[in-house]
Every structure is written in structure tokens, then in C-alpha cells.
Amino acid sequence: MITFDTDVLTELLRGNSEYIKRASDLILEKQMVPIVVVEELVRGRLNTVRRGESGRGDVSIPRAYEQLQRTSIDALEFPVLAFSDDAQGMFDQWRSERIRVGTHD
């Protein structure tokens, strides 16, 4: 299984040819996106909507919603890897061992 982190998935969704080439060299059936990556992308888009609603955004509110919709659709073109009890256990173990790992990593 090959999972894409947020930065890589973002580049793929933007159409970055270098990332697309590298991903095309991988077995398609083994490519997945962790649900925490989907959540992070959607959270970012929701923040863009909120900034627009408050007048602090750099894109219009309709554009912000368009980006949210497009991201939601595009991200789910990949099979989504669920966050399991095993994943939580590994995360907790790493934290107890003081291994620095981000919440979404």
C-alpha cells in the first residue's frame, strides 16, 4: 500500500506534472489516501470559507465553496484508508516513546 500525505495529494490535485508522473509509476490499486489527509484538506477549505465570510479572505465566498466542493470530490477519487484502533494504538505508543509525530501524520 502507498499512502499520500497532504502535501503530495495537494500537488496531485493541482495537476503538478512531476507528482503525477511519479504517482503513475506506482501500482494504481495500491494507492490510498488516509482519512486524516482528507480531513486536513477539507478543514483547510472550510477555513477559506470562514475567512471569506468574515471579510478576511483572499478569495470570494463562491470561489471558496467551489474549492471546497472540488477538493471533496477530487480527494475521494482515491480509496480512503480508515483511521483504525490499530492506528490510534501506534500513535499513542509513539507519543509515549516521545517520538515526535504530528496528529495528522
Residue 101 lies in a domain: no
pLDDT band at 77 (very low <50, low <70, confident <90, very high): confident
Residue 65 lies in a domain: yes
C-alpha 54/C-alpha 103 separation (Å) is: 28
pLDDT of 15-45, one tens digit each? 999 999 999 999 988 999 999 999 999 999 9
Q: Which domain holds residue 19?
A: 2-96
Residue 39 lies in a domain: yes
pTM exceeding 0.85: no
Task: Count how many domains the chain has.
Answer: 1
Q: Quick one: average pLDDT of 64-90? A: 91
CATH number of the structural domain spanning residue 53: 3.40.50.1010
Residue 105 lies in a domain: no
Residue 103 lies in a domain: no
80: three-class secondary structure by DSSP: strand
pLDDT of residue 102: 64
Average pLDDT, the chain: 90
